[in-house]
């Protein structure tokens, strides 16, 4: 089994956290999330993962409330979507989050 974990900083207070585990070339587990440092703590903004054995996306607001959206994708496709979506939209998601809305 191979595991990869890394953090990509977009700015001083915004980063992407990426983790995935593969076995025989297939993704078995993954988490990709956008985080914003707010009042000295890192907060989740958007998280893609496969907890509960299905790929989904959780969106958060400043109060910590979240909305879960199921993804009709395999883990490999969901992992690619997660990385691409956060890379492409981190500024918009961060702005909405800091305004109190869910991205």
pLDDT (tens digit, 0 to 9) for every residue of the chain, 103 residues total?
799 999 999 999 999 999 999 999 999 999 999 999 999 999 999 999 999 889 999 999 998 889 999 999 999 999 999 999 999 999 999 999 999 887 8
Rounded (5°) CA angle 26-29-35:
130
Is residue 26 one of the residues assigned to a domain?
yes
Residue 38 lies in a domain: yes
Q: Is residue 51 part of a domain?
A: yes
Please state the domain count of the chain. 1
Nearest residue to 16 via CA among 48, 40, 41: 48
CA distance 71 to 94: 22
- Please check whether residue 20 lies inside any domain of the structure: yes
Tokens coding 47: 């998280």
In-domain check, residue 60: yes
Give the structural domain span for 51: 2-98
Instruction: Check if the beta carbon of residue 48 is closer than 8 Å to that of residue 87.
Output: no
103 domain-assigned: no
- Residue 84 maps to a domain: yes
- Residue-level pLDDT at 100: 87
């Amino acid at each position: 089994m191979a595991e990869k974990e890394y953090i990509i900083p977009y700015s001083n207070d915004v980063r992407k956290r990426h983790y995935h585990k593969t076995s025989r070339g297939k993704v078995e587990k993954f988490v990709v999330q956008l985080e914003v440092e707010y009042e000295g703590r890192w907060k989740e903004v958007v998280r893609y993962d496969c907890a509960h054995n299905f790929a989904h996306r959780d969106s958060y607001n400043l109060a910590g409330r979240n909305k879960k959206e199921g993804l009709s994708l395999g883990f490999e496709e969901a992992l690619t979507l997660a990385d691409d979506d956060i890379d492409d939209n981190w500024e918009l998601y961060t702005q909405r989050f800091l305004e109190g809305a869910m991205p």
